[in-house]
Amino acid sequence: MATGTIGKITTLGDPPVVGIGQVITPEMFANLIANVNAFGFGSAAIADDFYGPTVNGALWSTSGTVTVNPTAGANGAVTINQNGVGTSSVATNGGLNNVGTVDFYFSWRVKGVAIGTGAIVKLGIFGSSTPAEDLYFKADPASSANWLAMNNTTVLGTSSVLTSDYTSWHLYELIRTSGAVTFKVDGATVYSGTFATNIAGGPNLSMSGIGATGQSAYFYVDRVRGYINVT
């Protein structure tokens, strides 16, 4: 779904089609309604289940190898596959970036295909001109067997649930409520603490893979959700 200001939603047309022409499933729509309504009137939202055949250019700016695999995920998944030193493949949504101090919710379902030693995968809001604003999950097998919750270069928490497991589907959630930020993996809290920072330096909702010599950052992402309380 393209970003924008919306109110409480109760229905769509028949068939239910969002502005970019993507038919959405009842499950996807119910999830969108529940989460947006929880934030209240005036929330901005994005939802993408990556129905093929290509990445939606209305939602994502991409570089490197970013495609859609129609047989991965529930109904398809974005595929990010980068192999090479110092190079990256990125999918970025710039609509939900300068979130200020408001509450927000972001989530991703992710499955690693091949995340080699030296390669790095990142999911979150990052790329700010003020790096202290960056909040993201990171898979970095060279430094940890687990996914990490990050603020800039600081490790906030480690998901022991995912020890040595980069290749199964898992749900990652990044949430801020009343000045506190929480990272969750499969519903389990990895980190929760105060983060009332005014996010204004332009970090974008992003997914990236950085390769290494002979090592790939190769993974699938499905069911991306983002909600910002703009009231």
SS3 for 161? helix
If one compares 109 and 57, the residue with the highest pLDDT of the two is 109
In terms of C-beta density within 10 A (0-12 exposed, 13-18 middle, 19 or more buried), how is residue 141 classed? buried
For the cut 90, the answer to whether the pLDDT of residue 151 exceeds it is yes
Does residue 5 carry a pLDDT above 50? no
pLDDT band at 175 (very low <50, low <70, confident <90, very high): very high
Domains of the chain and any CATH numbers: 56-226 (2.60.120.560)
Under DSSP, is residue 65 helix (H, G, I), strand (E, B) or coil? coil
Strand, helix or coil for residue 158: strand
> So what's the pLDDT on residue 19?
35
Question: Does residue 13 surpass a pLDDT of 50?
Answer: no
Which candidate, 62, 8, 6, places its Cα nearest to that of 37?
A: 8
pLDDT at 180: 94
Query: Can you say whether the dihedral through the CA atoms of 23, 26, 30, 33 is positive or negative?
Result: positive
Band of the pLDDT at 11, cuts 50, 70, 90?
A: very low
Lowest-pLDDT range of 58-67, 91-100, 150-159, 162-171: 162-171
Q: Which of 4-8, 40-44, 141-145 has the highest mean pLDDT?
A: 141-145
Please report which confidence band the pLDDT of residue 176 belongs to, taking 50, 70 and 90 as the band edges: very high
Question: Between 50 and 180, where is the model more confident?
Answer: 180
> Looking at per-residue confidence, does 48 or 38 come out higher?
48
With b meaning 16 or more CB within 10 Å and e meaning fewer, what string describes 148-183?
Answer: bbbbeeeebbbbeebeeebeebbebbbbbeeeebbb
Token code pair at residue 104: 């927000």
Question: Token pair of 134, please?
Answer: 């960056």
Q: Out of 113-117, 118-122, 129-133, which region has the weakest mean confidence (pLDDT)?
A: 113-117
pLDDT at 164: 53
Q: With 80 as the cut, is the pLDDT of residue 182 above it?
A: yes
Q: Is the whole-model pTM more than 0.85? A: no
Q: Encoding tokens for residue 143?
A: 């430094």
More confident residue, 169 or 7: 169
CA dihedral 105, 14, 41, 207 (to 10 degrees): 20
